[in-house]
Amino acid sequence: MPRTTDGDGTPVPQRLLAAATRLFAERGYDRTSVQEIVEAAGVTKGALYHYFGSKDDLLHEVYARVLRLQQDRLDTFADADEPVEKRLRDAAADVVVTTIDNLDDASIFFRSMHHLSPEKNRQVRAERRRYHERFRALVEEGQQSGVFTKEIPADLVVDYHFGSIHHLSTWYRPDGPLSPQELADHLADLLLRALRP
């Protein structure tokens, strides 16, 4: 096989994806030209269109990666052998930490959904919904067993929490007073406090 890497050891497709992620997060999808992406990755357009069908396709890959990661992590926490309060708290805190670890992904995720083609948009929404459902199931389980209040619809609680996650990429600063873990604990605490009967 001819060379797949160049200079450093990272394969070209991954280099392209990394460059695109950074640039999309920095200046937005539409403001980032394909030319800039390939230059940042140290290749040319030929390489990009060899591996990806379109610019839109590149964006879709960013989404796929994030979705896969978050879903895996949620499944791990939700399946744990712990009381439901702890499972929810752990899952809620983990998504905060993971989001902060990948702030670029997060800002792209919520800011650029509408730049995906309608078909890919539907696909991403569907996967997102699965994620949401899983989270909601945890809340409902706690409501059934009486450890959480039934006053508030579970759906709404989930959207409330993810709203704040979404917002993180807008206001979180790595040089702020709180470490990612401290912040995550606080946010998970807010959620659990709101759910007290």
Partner DNA sequence: CAGCACATACCGACTGGTTAGTCTGTCGTC
Partner DNA sequence: GACGACAGACTAACCAGTCGGTATGTGCTG
Which residues are near its own copies by CB under 8 A? Answer: 27-28, 30-31, 110-111, 113-115, 149, 151-153, 156-157, 159-168, 170-171, 178, 183, 186-187, 189-191, 193-196
131 sits near DNA (criterion: CB under 7 A) = no
What sign does the dihedral 109-115-118-120 (CA atoms) show? negative
CA angle 166–111–191, rounded 5-degree value: 10
The CA distances from residue 130 to 95, 104, 177, 183, in Å, are: 15, 23, 34, 26
Task: From the list DNA, its own copies, none, pick the one residue 186 interacts with, judged by a Cβ distance below 5 to 8 Å according to partner type.
Answer: its own copies
Q: What is the Cα 25 distance to its own chain's centre? A: 13
φ/ψ (deg, to 5) at 92: -65, -40
Least distance to DNA from the beta carbon of 177, Å? 38
> Within positions 55 to 114, which residues make up the interface with DNA, using CB under 7 A?
55-56
Binding site for DNA (CB under 7 A): 1-4, 6, 11-12, 32-35, 38, 43-47, 49-50, 54-56
